[in-house]
Amino acid sequence: MSKRSVVRRLVAGVLVLLLLGGLAGCAAEEEKPAAQETKVKAAIIFSIVNPARAGGWDRADWAGIEALRNEYGWEVTVAEGVPYAQTAATAAGYAEQGYDLVIFPDAGQTAAFLEVAPKYPKTWFVMMSMCEKLPNSPRVAAWSPDLYAYGEMVGLVAGKATESGIIGLVGGVPVPALITLFSGTIEAAKFVRPDVEVLTYFVGDWVDVAKHRELAALQIQEGADVIFPETGPGTLGCYEAAQAGGAKIVGFAWDMYEDAPEVMLTSVIINKPRMYRDLAEQFMSGDLEKKIVHCGAEYFGLADFRGSLPEETVKEIQDLVTKLQNGELPIPVVIHEEIGGS
Amino acid sequence: MEVQWWADFLSAVLRAATPLVFCALGVLVCGRAGILNIGVEGSMLVGALAAVLAAVYSGDPWMGVVGALGVGLAAGLVLTLLTVYLPTDQVVTGIAFNLVCLGVTSFIYKLLVLGGVQLMAPALRAAQDAEGAVSLAGLAAAVTPLTWIALFLVAVSWVFLFRTGPGLLWRSVGESAWASHAAGLNVFRVRTVAVVVGSLLSALGGAALTLGWVPTFTDNMTMGRGFIALAAVYFGRWHPGLALAACLLFGAGEALAFRAQALGTGLNPYYYLMLPYVVTLMAVAAMGRSVEPRDTGKPYARR
Amino acid sequence: MQADSAVAVSMRGICKSFGTVQALDGVDMDISAGEIRALVGENGAGKTTLMTILYGMYRPDAGRMTVWGRRTGRDWSPRQAIKARIGMLHQHFSLIPNHTVLENVLMPQLGWTHMRPRWHHHRAVLEGLCREYGFSFPLEARVESLSVGQQQQVEILKLLYQGARLLILDEPTAVLTPQQTERLLELLLRLRDQGHSVVLITHKLNEAFAVADSITVLRKGRHVATVPRKDSDPREIAFMMVDREWSATPDWELEAPEPGPLLEVKDLVVGDEHQRPAVDRVSLVVRARELVGVAGVAGNGQTELAEALVGIRRTRGGRIVIAGQDATSWTITRRLRAGLRFIPEDRHRHGMVGELSLAENLVIDRCDSPPFSVRGVLRRPVIRQAAAEAVERYGIQAPSPETPMMNLSGGNQQRAVLARALAGSPRVIVAHQPTRGLDFAATEYVRAQLVRCAAQGVGVLVFSSELEELMLLCHRILVMYRGRFIGELSRDEFDAGTIGLLMTGQVPDGGRRDGQGTRNLGQPA
């Protein structure tokens, strides 16, 4: 009508565009490699964005993808930031497009795994995370890490490294997988140092850095000098607290040294590249079959200590780890349901 | 030991409450002039990112505070245009603004991370840690300067709003924009200043969250703290002192929740983690109905 | 008494439109210093708009203004108007209810540099002013705790304190009792004698003729005439206002009521928003063919009583009996079915849904049952048919039955509300301020319809703040004060002075009264 209302509409329109642009910034993105006919085509679906720089678990997967690409010449398409609710549809899309394999790196995608695999029996669907039951389809497999064994390895490191005899475990949310892992840590820490005290606190979410910092700082106040955080992006807060309070961190799943060089004791690595190589070898030789591979201690290892502990302690820890991998350590299996509360 | 526990606890309460206090003031001064500052969460988020970036690149945490203020000013001007001059619905605009801020900060954060930037900023540190905070002076030294700035601003805003002439004009605009206009006030100018000040304070809240607490940034790092501040203002009956009390109460609930886990009662941690919210909810219920300034949230247009 | 010839304000060719409505169309007006000017006209004539432009709150689309000899600029605003010593008392007060009297009065004077206002100094001066003009309210009281009359005094105090020489008062007597009105008019004369100019916007010609030096008439956004009071008479002015011969107020032929009660209320108690009793053990009876009026200053429990009767508001005690059946716990719908109808006070908020069409509004209370809907599905043709009949019968002027209700004029909206209330077979009508904000024609129409209904055997309970209206319409008038009936007058006892006194809580000598006896008031003698 008037000049003024035209201006209003224009401004409103520009703002809507800005808003859409802003939202697009955090929407899902895809990487598309150049198409080559003869290559094996695999797709992997991440629920988070930017796996190469995310937490240890996803970085380990990223290293596995790099191995597939560089060592086996596979063509790997990566979908990032796919919400769990849309995972099945995304996976189906890849199957339709004729991909040879679709890989799920996240146990949160189990429902999608079970749902989509039976619909595409010609495509391989592989779970690279905890898995108890395979979908009803001929071409499905899983490499499932034994979290109790992983926890034991953390316990060996922390139990040997602590001077105060107090270890802090920071969890995001008390899910069963985390209870299993922490139980392994508690038992192994007790095995190497019977008088050890393990503080197990949960933040209540995976992301709030400030809360993570408060919780880790509280553990440090209570005497913990080694902290193992197994949570989400909030982990940064634990690093910060350790830096301020003079404690050490045991990194989760991949070598986390770069993220907090001053506080990183070592990291307990999940050798995901090995799992991905297993997959690639078996697929290319035609030996891949419907099965769950339970990945025990032999799939886990330690990152470089980079001088964070005396030489002899490092040696001791490495010996213990070797014995664990060989099954020579009689650590009892006890699930401490009580740390998750009731 | 007993004293030390209290000292730790109190410094934790102040740490958790400081960002909330800034944001609550941001909501309060804005609302007292009649604009419901739903965008507090977004302003806080961009303030947090700006503070970290400015501190990382300058190496000085105080430059981070300056950076947060600069971005807060920009955010305030955008909100002013939308809520005062167009004027659009304040709630819808505020929500849209929060979404845009979330998108923009996530996008910038991702670019930085891909670029390999380490987002560990120099922090504003307390003069000493909580070990020595067994006296009041010790406690004073055990929190960051931002906490004291926040408490000072609470006093300033109380004196300004309830003891000065401009404060009366400010509140008049919030109670009745029409009557204020009839009395010769330039409602738009007052509300512009109010929105900008509110946005600056919210951005300072973001700086307090990062520089004063965890000097790093992650996606959506404010985690709804702006909305908790909003609730604190309602609980505090639009009064700076009571809003401060509400923020402290929430901070106490959070600090207590973590400490309760340390008691090892075997209770599900979720019960403790609910604590701050339950405490706040009960306090709100106990306070009864909160009366906001009558014209808050209503757009004013001159005919 | 003589008007100073100096021109205070001169307005030329003022135009203003809101959307498609031309509110003012080239209006000229001059106001002299030291005169009282009455600005009269029907609703929507543009009186308030013209003065709001003079006060700087609206911007004119065209025209120019001179204030004390100086042209006003594009940036003319209330701030500048106040500086030019113009003050306006708005119909809906421009007070801040939450603030104290002192804060309200002082607010327009404060600047952004007054960090430490001299409260004590201002308070002393204001107390002096209050004494001078006979205002009695504590300066520390919150405005919302004052009565409407006191709030108006606060507004006037505010204008005087900011040094206004030209006072614009927009319908100031609408909220006052006759006695308060008289005091206000006296105050205006006194201000005039002190050299102030006053513009009195009103639609009550008797007030205009009581105090004004000259009278300006607006009609449909145009200036009709400005005449000295002594050269004119109410009849001539009324003719100019409505553009037709003023039909002398008809003296209704009221029919005698039937003996039995149709609506009976016994010891009714109703709480307000703060759980205080707003209606305190009130009893009344309305018989068939009877029109009963409830008079009172707004805020003495009339709204609560009316809403409790129709079931919108919960009662806390007492009984409501409709045609012999106890209806105290009935739902609104059940009361509606029993023939109880409501014409609400605030038609925009409670009487209509502005976004819905006229046709939908006409059947909105009955649309859930046949013939308007079958098994939950609306039958549009039937609704349209019913609407067309109502439009015809009640003379509702609308482009079509599908026109949104909010696009109709106030008079036509009220006709629609009336049409809905009278549809079907009403037995009791509760009419709350049925003619508020309506112009002559619509007012007369609504009143005639109420009288017609009564003649057909309906009982009518009318709440109104216009005494003339009640005295015109009703068999009996009950006067409500602080939640109780303080007096009752039958038609042969009607007297504006007596009722006005009762409205302020004073029981005149010789009247029916006494604290305990009030409970029995409201019953037919």
| CA distance, residue B269 to nearest chain A CA (Å) | 6
Question: What is the per-residue pLDDT for C46?
Answer: 86
Written as one string, the DSSP assignment of A310-327 is -HHHHHHHHHHHHHHHTT
The shortest CB-CB distance from C94 to any of B171, B179, B186 is to B179
Whether B72 contacts B39, CB under 8 Å: no
Using pLDDT thresholds of 50, 70 and 90, give the confidence band for residue C478: very high
Question: What is the per-residue pLDDT for A17?
Answer: 56
What is the pLDDT averaged over residues B61-72?
A: 95
Asked if the model's pLDDT at residue C511 lies above 50, the reply is no
Q: How many CB atoms lie within 10 A of CB B162?
A: 14
Question: What is the per-residue pLDDT for A296?
Answer: 93
Question: What is the per-residue pLDDT for C23?
Answer: 83
**Cβ–Cβ below 8 Å for C58 and B166:** no
A41-100 pLDDT, tens digit each? 999 999 988 888 888 899 999 999 999 999 999 999 999 989 999 999 999 999 999 999
Asked if the model's pLDDT at residue C523 lies above 60, the reply is no
Contacts of B29 (CB under 8 A, 6+ apart): B157, B161, B170, B194, B197, B198, B201
Question: What is the per-residue pLDDT for A279?
Answer: 95
C70-102 pLDDT, tens digit each? 999 888 999 899 999 999 998 878 899 889 999
Q: What is the mean pLDDT of chain C?
A: 85
Higher pLDDT, C175 or A65: A65
Using pLDDT thresholds of 50, 70 and 90, give the confidence band for residue C45: confident
- The answer, yes or no, to whether the previous bond of C108 is cis (omega within 30 of 0) is no
Question: What is the per-residue pLDDT for A26?
Answer: 44
Q: How many CB atoms lie within 10 A of CB B287?
A: 14
Q: Which segment of A178-187, A241-250, B100-109, C148-157 scores lowest on mean pLDDT?
A: C148-157
Of all residues in chain B, what percent carry a pLDDT higher than 90? 54
Using pLDDT thresholds of 50, 70 and 90, give the confidence band for residue A311: very high
Q: In a 3-state reduction of DSSP, which class is residue A49?
A: coil
Question: What is the per-residue pLDDT for A151?
Answer: 96
Q: What is the mean pLDDT of chain A?
A: 89
Question: What is the per-residue pLDDT for B218?
Answer: 86
Question: What is the per-residue pLDDT for C493?
Answer: 86
C94 neighbourhood in chain B, CB within 8 Å: 176, 178-179, 182-183
What is the pLDDT averaged over residues C327-334?
A: 88
Q: In a 3-state reduction of DSSP, which class is residue C341?
A: strand
- In the sheet that C291-295 helps form, which strands lie side by side, from edge to edge? C340-343, C428-432, C459-463, C291-295, C476-481, C484-490
* CB contact residues (below 8 A), chain B span 249-278, against chain A: 254-255, 258-259, 261-262, 266-271, 273
Q: Which segment of A164-168, B110-114, B131-135, C479-483 scores lowest on mean pLDDT?
A: B131-135
Question: What is the per-residue pLDDT for B254?
Answer: 86
- Would the CATH topology of A32-145 be identical to that of A148-269+301-340? yes
**Cβ–Cβ below 8 Å for B218 and A23:** no
The shortest CB-CB distance from C58 to any of B185, B186, B303 is to B303
Whether B64 contacts B54, CB under 8 Å: yes
Contacts of B67 (CB under 8 A, 6+ apart): B50, B51, B53, B54, B55
**Cβ–Cβ below 8 Å for C96 and B172:** yes
Asked if the model's pLDDT at residue B30 lies above 80, the reply is yes
Asked if the model's pLDDT at residue A34 lies above 90, the reply is no
Using pLDDT thresholds of 50, 70 and 90, give the confidence band for residue B1: low
A261 neighbourhood in chain B, CB within 8 Å: none
Using pLDDT thresholds of 50, 70 and 90, give the confidence band for residue C515: very low
Question: What is the per-residue pLDDT for B69?
Answer: 97
Question: What is the per-residue pLDDT for A10?
Answer: 59
Q: Residue type at C7?
A: V
Burial (CB < 10 A; 0-12, 13-18, 19+), residue C437, is: middle
B175 neighbourhood in chain C, CB within 8 Å: 96-99
Using pLDDT thresholds of 50, 70 and 90, give the confidence band for residue C4: very low
**Would you list the domain boundaries of chain A?**
32-145, 148-269+301-340
Of all residues in chain C, what percent carry a pLDDT higher than 70? 92
Task: Give yes or no for B1 touching A (CB within 8 A).
Answer: no
B/C interface, count of CB pairs below 8 Å: 81
Question: What is the per-residue pLDDT for C5?
Answer: 53
CATH 3.40.50.300 residue window(s) in chain C: 7-242, 247-339+425-525
Asked if the model's pLDDT at residue B288 lies above 50, the reply is yes
**Cβ–Cβ below 8 Å for C116 and B176:** no
Asked if the model's pLDDT at residue A25 lies above 50, the reply is no
Task: Give yes or no for B169 touching C (CB within 8 A).
Answer: yes
What is the pLDDT averaged over residues A262-274?
A: 95
Q: In a 3-state reduction of DSSP, which class is residue A234?
A: coil
The shortest CB-CB distance from A19 to any of B96, B254, B261 is to B96
- Given the candidates 3.40.50.300, 3.30.230.10, 3.40.30.10, 3.30.420.40, the CATH classification of the domain at C247-339+425-525 is 3.40.50.300
What is the pLDDT averaged over residues A150-156?
A: 96
- Interatomic CA distance for residues C323 and C321, integer angstroms: 6
**Cβ–Cβ below 8 Å for B164 and C116:** yes
Question: What is the per-residue pLDDT for A136?
Answer: 93
This complex has an ipTM of: 0.86
The shortest CB-CB distance from C94 to any of B163, B165, B183 is to B183
Asked if the model's pLDDT at residue A101 lies above 50, the reply is yes
Question: What is the per-residue pLDDT for A256?
Answer: 92
Asked if the model's pLDDT at residue C525 lies above 70, the reply is no
Higher pLDDT, C275 or A35: C275
* CB contact residues (below 8 A), chain B span 57-96, against chain A: 81-82, 86, 88, 96
Best of A211, A235, A256, A259 to mutate (most B CBs within 10 Å, chain B): A211
**Would you list the domain boundaries of chain B?**
2-226
CATH of domain A32-145: 3.40.50.2300
The shortest CB-CB distance from C99 to any of B172, B184, B302 is to B172
Asked if the model's pLDDT at residue C513 lies above 50, the reply is no
Using pLDDT thresholds of 50, 70 and 90, give the confidence band for residue A5: low
A202 neighbourhood in chain B, CB within 8 Å: 261, 269, 273
The shortest CB-CB distance from A342 to any of B221, B223, B266 is to B266
C272-297 pLDDT, tens digit each? 766 778 898 999 999 999 999 999 87
Task: Give yes or no for B184 touching C (CB within 8 A).
Answer: yes
- Interatomic CA distance for residues A248 and A230, integer angstroms: 14
What H or E segment, with its residue span, contains residue C337? helix C332-337
Higher pLDDT, C245 or C332: C332
**Cβ–Cβ below 8 Å for B223 and A214:** no
Question: What is the per-residue pLDDT for C435?
Answer: 84
**Cβ–Cβ below 8 Å for A214 and B12:** yes
Asked if the model's pLDDT at residue B111 lies above 50, the reply is yes
**Cβ–Cβ below 8 Å for A204 and B273:** yes
Nearest Cα neighbor of B292 from B23, B34, B21 is B34
What is the pLDDT averaged over residues C458-480?
A: 89
Which chains touch A (3+ CB pairs under 8 A)? B
Asked if the model's pLDDT at residue B49 lies above 60, the reply is yes
Q: Which CATH architecture has domain A148-269+301-340?
A: 3-Layer(aba) Sandwich (3.40)
Question: What is the per-residue pLDDT for A110?
Answer: 93
Question: What is the per-residue pLDDT for C171?
Answer: 85
Question: What is the per-residue pLDDT for C124?
Answer: 93
Of all residues in chain A, what percent carry a pLDDT higher than 70? 89
| CA distance, residue A340 to nearest chain B CA (Å) | 6
- Interatomic CA distance for residues A308 and C357, integer angstroms: 79
Whether B235 contacts B292, CB under 8 Å: no
Q: Which two tokens stand for residue C437?
A: 């904000």
Q: Which segment of A125-129, C122-126, C298-302 scores lowest on mean pLDDT?
A: C298-302
**Cβ–Cβ below 8 Å for C117 and B168:** yes
Question: What is the per-residue pLDDT for A19?
Answer: 53
The shortest CB-CB distance from A218 to any of B16, B221, B259 is to B259
C191-219 pLDDT, tens digit each? 999 999 999 998 778 888 999 999 999 98
Which chains touch B (3+ CB pairs under 8 A)? A, C
The 3-class SS string of C244-311 reads CCCCCCCCCCCCCCCCCEEEEEEEEEEECCCCCEEEEEEEEEEECCCEEEEECCCCCCHHHHHHHHHC
Higher pLDDT, B210 or C257: B210
**Cβ–Cβ below 8 Å for B214 and A240:** yes
Question: What is the per-residue pLDDT for A29?
Answer: 47
Using pLDDT thresholds of 50, 70 and 90, give the confidence band for residue B131: low
Asked if the model's pLDDT at residue C512 lies above 50, the reply is no
Best of C103, C110, C114, C143 to mutate (most B CBs within 10 Å, chain B): C110
Q: Residue type at B278?
A: V
B124: left (phi over 0), alpha (psi -120 to 50) or beta: beta
Question: What is the per-residue pLDDT for A14?
Answer: 58
Question: What is the per-residue pLDDT for A28?
Answer: 45
Asked if the model's pLDDT at residue C167 lies above 50, the reply is yes
Task: Give yes or no for B205 touching A (CB within 8 A).
Answer: no
Question: What is the per-residue pLDDT for A27?
Answer: 45
C117 neighbourhood in chain B, CB within 8 Å: 164-165, 168
**Cβ–Cβ below 8 Å for B258 and A214:** yes
B162-181 pLDDT, tens digit each? 999 999 999 999 999 989 99
A/B interface, count of CB pairs below 8 Å: 116
At the top level of CATH, the class of C7-242 is alpha beta
| CA distance, residue B183 to nearest chain C CA (Å) | 5
Asked if the model's pLDDT at residue C12 lies above 80, the reply is yes
**Cβ–Cβ below 8 Å for C107 and B180:** yes
| CA distance, residue B172 to nearest chain A CA (Å) | 28
**Cβ–Cβ below 8 Å for A341 and B221:** no
- Interatomic CA distance for residues A8 and B87, integer angstroms: 9
